[in-house]
Structure 1
């Protein structure tokens, strides 16, 4: 829901209204229903808001909103799911104002006035980005929800402070200096996303999930020295959960998880507009829809898209689950040209370069849903919390097998594997494959030989995970002038203490891949279609509960998400769910060799790359040639480069 913007500038006080209006207009897709702005020329602060009306559709929900006592002004993006409970608490304490409506924004503002910043943030259950101005103390507070569902960028450019839901709003300031941060670009090549707190622009940061920052605008020097503070952290939830494990039986654990999921989903079904859900037919989305339908008097509206390409279509499974649950199901089989038509829109849809190719499918299903509803629930989060990714099942075994070899032997083996090119390995394998048993028949042997060499050269299992979650292995050698910065994955001092490698991987993914990839993908794609997404699986109470559950309740008999599956099987027959896991993607590898070839070629033309000066052309061109020939599948590496190039071309 919505988008917020803001600018503080002592030297341009009379320009603030025009600046904030322009910034606000850049976010119309996030809030097409209403807009508002507020300017205090005395201090030099302007706040803006675009509204997608979900709760309290009356003018009583208009923002920016002022507190009853006149001290606070707020702009707020998101939903506070327990706002009715917070309202009851305020009334019980005798601290409730005379209510003007029933918007969660008004209740949140009253909580800040009554309880202060940290207590209010700790009391909330929801997703949000907040800017709160305290005129009495001249303090501006920026805050972001615990898991990072809603975005918030901020940074100083000279004497001006800029902040907002998307970078495209900050760029509307005429004095914005849009200098690409080459170090962040290196991170994009490695991960397909730029992790918090970094952004693609120098001087602009993402506020980290579960953090707030208070800026004393009456003292600019002090404000520039302010640093974010945590009011909630996954690492703390991990360590508290492991220190206080669930001691009940397996069936009691299933009961408890079902109860918490039902509660979270029930809270998130509250809306004054039509509501539905994404349904892929997998474990996570099916569990969410099942518990939605259980609590709904009407058939829940569910949405699925399908592709005709083999290995990319889950629509048939979703349809079976929808039929069993009795939902009002809509499916759309997407033609390749429909998906390809989305590609030119991606650089404007994502305000900084973002390269998870499932962004295409996510936008298409969001666009389809937007024709019927304004809010959709999503099943994201189950993999990271309950052990769903294949790497949780195989990484430890693979590494333990590697670890049996002494380090010197591993390095020698890696050298031997790298001494021959992938094409040579392919040729050799082709000669011997007729005499090999079926279990040793593999596709792309040369490619796998190179990957094995990379693994053999690693020092420990943490480095192995970093390798598994990386695309370009040395991106700073590709980006001219880059030094790859420290991130959570490369900073052992920031790691939680866990009881297993599997739990460590899950904790890392929840703070990196889920926050900076999955949630970014869903938020921007849905907002581009002007609908709101809600993710009940990552309610912080469920996150905390998941870390109390032993690993055996998550990964059992070589299969992940055991506990979540057991909840689902109370509502949906096991036979409708049990099948190999599929991603939510598109056949990008073949598209780059076919209908996207001309588009890609123009973006990574060697002379163009040299002229722009961000990349060394040679390794990119070599990778492109190998991909086109079919010798290697470099779809992810190339997509990372292409998404930056496409984004860059839109910035001119």
Structure 2
């Protein structure tokens, strides 16, 4: 796993200056790749590619990047893993390609040289974000993997340069990058706890969406940010909604016993592919269905005990460590548990803006960061159970959303409009306001949005903000066939999974220089899951029916059939206790007024109501506080000493 960055000025440049710029942009994300650094420049074009390497496959210099294709046409800076590289290598060797090392980067480059970027991506089974420079056509290609496991930001600096990188830190290392906060993106942060792609917190900066690519030529660079529309300019190379529709239409041709065998075989193979590494490997083990299943499949295919890791908390509400330890004992893993008290998690709060260099407010960011720090002390790669909830109906809110959708469907339109008026943020508190909001929801997407959003009307709180559409608003995000349950999972797969769950894991793992891999998000597993009838996912009120049946092959029923638990932090208790003074300082009305991002009145009203004992508001306030902490960190973050002047 690695970090990539680069810049393309609309004019020729000096080679030494370009290399210094690339080194500075790479240094800003050195945590993503502490083992090696490289730059490559095309002075005639004014372009530089930068790379930071975390060595996983082929630890030799043969894996150094940026890497040139054998024919010299392509230069590649690549962050990720292509798990089926051995099969692709054999296919390419039969076509006459030779290889110097055994890295997947060299295979991906040969595939691009042989078939072109889009066809090579279609053949690759992996997670990645990449920048490929075509020296012949003078075009830059940026691409992100099917599911969005790896991030890629891009935008324009003040001197007209096109800039890109794995994290905003890399873009901000460009000396002409002075972009301010985008209020529309800030409103999205308050609504969802994260800023969904293609938006980013800074003006004229965007995120590449999952399964998308961007092709840039010199004329596009010269045109600058003016007229750029990410919805139009980003090309689809893998369309999750279309694949879901196709698999729903095809359906699974077999009974549940056949489906169980097929899932076992698919997940075994997906797990085995992700166990290949030239460095120590382990697994995150929370004790939940997904992490337990991945760990079980690892252990079933390993000749020695698998290393497994979990976090234990003092708070019984958030502590699953005893169950994780019981799973580890039954599977025979070499288990490591870190016991942490509230102080250990609290000490991490100031680090969140550094780890998530775009503001991020999912409170499970704290235990995730602790888990990654612990795991990296022992291994360099860890497998996770991410993706099972979004593919196999794993969230309890799905069932509640379907109930609310049925209720709202029976309410006449005029009455729905009347019920939806003026309930505002109070709907978060439950009771009559929540019922009115549920009955007023407009269609399935409105219901789904209510289940995942924090602030109902953040544009009324963020100064100058306009509402921006997301997958939860766009009818094109819904599959045109299947059940409402399929549609709910499709929305989360398009937005919540890549922009919250996978963002959280990527930033926390990369901050610790740890690679995280997710077998359940192998594209073949996703398409298989979409082909299954809902009865194999949700039956008799039981979530993830088929994965639980499969886990039952490896664990006793008592360790399989248990309620789903979250992986969060007691933020409410902290904001009324040890973080109260910090929160008070961040939300000081004078400070809010002077900074100009928020209307102080509604923010202070919620803070005071929360401190007076009104429940739930901590979920609203945490997003504001994480932005305030991020902004504070941004102001005191000094320029890189390697940054060219």
- TM-score, scaled to structure 2: 0.94
Cα distance in 2 for partners of 1:215, 1:459 equals 39
Residue 407 of structure 1 deviates from its aligned partner by: 4.9
Structure 1 residues 81 and 418, CA gap change in structure 2 (3 angstroms): closer
Residue 559 of structure 1 deviates from its aligned partner by: 1.1
Structure 1 residues 447 and 11, CA gap change in structure 2 (3 angstroms): same
- Residue 362 of structure 1 corresponds to 368
Residue 497 of structure 1 deviates from its aligned partner by: 1.2
Native 8 Å contact 1:217 1:223 kept in 2: no
For residues 233-283 of structure 1, give each alpha carbon's deviation from its aligned partner in whole angstroms, at most 9, with x where no partner exists: 110111001110002010100100111000000000000000000001110
- Which of 260, 282, 288 in structure 1 is aligned with 2:288? 282
2:507 equivalent to 1:527: no
2:239 equivalent to 1:233: yes
- Residue 73 of structure 1 corresponds to 75
2:145 equivalent to 1:145: yes
Residue 177 of structure 1 deviates from its aligned partner by: 2.1
What SS does the aligned partner of 1:196 have? coil
- Residue 113 of structure 1 corresponds to 113
Farther off after superposition, 405-414 or 133-142: 405-414
Matches within 5 A, 1:45-56: 45-56=47-58
Native 8 Å contact 2:140 2:217 kept in 1: yes
- Residue 28 of structure 2 corresponds to 26
Cα distance in 2 for partners of 1:174, 1:450 equals 49
- Residue 203 of structure 1 corresponds to 204
Structure 1 residues 617 and 12, CA gap change in structure 2 (3 angstroms): farther
- Residue 506 of structure 1 corresponds to 489
Unaligned runs of at least 5 residues, structure 2: 636-645
Cα distance in 2 for partners of 1:241, 1:391 equals 24
2:103 equivalent to 1:103: yes
Structure 1 residues 462 and 228, CA gap change in structure 2 (3 angstroms): closer
- Residue 518 of structure 1 corresponds to 501
Cα distance in 2 for partners of 1:232, 1:164 equals 21
What SS does the aligned partner of 1:154 have? strand
Structure 1 residues 409 and 481, CA gap change in structure 2 (3 angstroms): closer
Cα distance in 2 for partners of 1:22, 1:220 equals 21
- Residue 60 of structure 2 corresponds to 58
- TM-score, scaled to structure 1: 0.93
- Structure 1 runs of 4+ off > 3 angstroms? 218-226, 401-415, 417-422
For residues 483-524 of structure 1, give each alpha carbon's deviation from its aligned partner in whole angstroms, at most 9, with x where no partner exists: 011212112134321321111000000111101000000000
Cα distance in 2 for partners of 1:478, 1:115 equals 50
Cα distance in 1 for partners of 2:348, 2:426 equals 36
Cα distance in 2 for partners of 1:461, 1:175 equals 44
For residues 286-329 of structure 1, give each alpha carbon's deviation from its aligned partner in whole angstroms, at most 9, with x where no partner exists: 00000000011110000000112121111010000000000000
Cα distance in 2 for partners of 1:155, 1:586 equals 34
2:501 equivalent to 1:495: no
Structure 1 residues 335 and 12, CA gap change in structure 2 (3 angstroms): farther
- Residue 132 of structure 1 corresponds to 132
- Which of 259, 262, 267 in structure 2 is aligned with 1:261? 267
2:567 equivalent to 1:561: no
- Residue 251 of structure 1 corresponds to 257
Residue 156 of structure 1 deviates from its aligned partner by: 2.3
- Residue 167 of structure 1 corresponds to 168
For residues 25-70 of structure 1, give each alpha carbon's deviation from its aligned partner in whole angstroms, at most 9, with x where no partner exists: 1011101111111111111110110010000000110111111111
- Residue 384 of structure 2 corresponds to 378
Matches within 5 A, 1:583-622: 583-622=566-605
Cα distance in 2 for partners of 1:418, 1:138 equals 55
Structure 1 residues 179 and 421, CA gap change in structure 2 (3 angstroms): closer
What SS does the aligned partner of 2:531 have? coil
Native 8 Å contact 2:407 2:439 kept in 1: no
2:339 equivalent to 1:327: no
Unaligned runs of at least 5 residues, structure 1: 423-443
- RMSD over equivalenced CA pairs, Å: 1.9
Residue 630 of structure 1 deviates from its aligned partner by: 1.4
Farther off after superposition, 197-206 or 395-404: 395-404
Native 8 Å contact 2:411 2:439 kept in 1: no
- Residue 640 of structure 2 corresponds to none
Structure 1 residues 339 and 10, CA gap change in structure 2 (3 angstroms): same
Residue 147 of structure 1 deviates from its aligned partner by: 0.3
Residue 284 of structure 1 deviates from its aligned partner by: 0.4
Native 8 Å contact 1:600 1:642 kept in 2: yes
2:135 equivalent to 1:155: no
- Residue 641 of structure 2 corresponds to none
Cα distance in 1 for partners of 2:576, 2:220 equals 56
What SS does the aligned partner of 1:35 have? strand
What SS does the aligned partner of 2:127 have? strand
Native 8 Å contact 1:60 1:101 kept in 2: yes
Cα distance in 1 for partners of 2:442, 2:75 equals 52
- Which of 553, 558, 577 in structure 2 is aligned with 1:570? 553
Aligned residues: 627
For residues 105-152 of structure 1, give each alpha carbon's deviation from its aligned partner in whole angstroms, at most 9, with x where no partner exists: 011111111111111010000000111111111111111100000001
Residue 629 of structure 1 deviates from its aligned partner by: 1.4
Native 8 Å contact 1:27 1:50 kept in 2: yes
